[in-house]
Amino acid sequence: MVKAMPENVDIDEEPAEMCCPDVSGLQGKKKKLAIKMRCPEGEDAEKFKEKVLLRLGQELGDRSNVVMTRLNDEDLKKIDALVEVEAFKSRSEAAAFFIKEGVQAQKDLFEKVMPTVERIKELKEQAKESLSRKETQ
């Protein structure tokens, strides 16, 4: 689970002074959102960025499933801001990261629900088999 990201990336409503050179291109632009990356003291900004991107890539793993979703304007602006500063390569990558983090944050809920979901699947399969046998008779 990526823990450094929330502690090291802030989303503000208005552009602000950037402390890392790799995101300084946002200064002076008319943006409603800006990202401030705070590099750990004594660490090179570029190396820090590479570490964050590497950990994000590891956490996202294989993403071969496609899910379409609708977002409100505010959430989309925040995702776009992270793509703009290259914290993520795409909206898709950012959305996948935040979904994964949300699922992980609700781990206890899923542990409670999954056995019930599996039982429902079993019952549905039994019902289908029962109907199939009835049709063939």
Q: Mean pLDDT per 10-residue run, the chain (137 residues)? A: 44 40 41 54 75 67 80 96 93 92 95 97 94 81
CA atoms within 13 A on the CB side of 10: 13
pTM beyond cutoff 0.85 = no
> What confidence score (pLDDT) does residue 37 get?
60
> What confidence score (pLDDT) does residue 71 get?
95
The closest of 99, 94, 91, 103 to 56, measured between CA atoms, is 94
> What confidence score (pLDDT) does residue 16 get?
37
> How does 34-69 read in b/e, with b if 16+ C-beta sit within 10 Å?
bbbbebeeeeebeebbeebeeebeeebeeeeeeeee
> What confidence score (pLDDT) does residue 14 get?
42
Sketch the domain layout of the chain as residue ranges: 4-105, 107-137
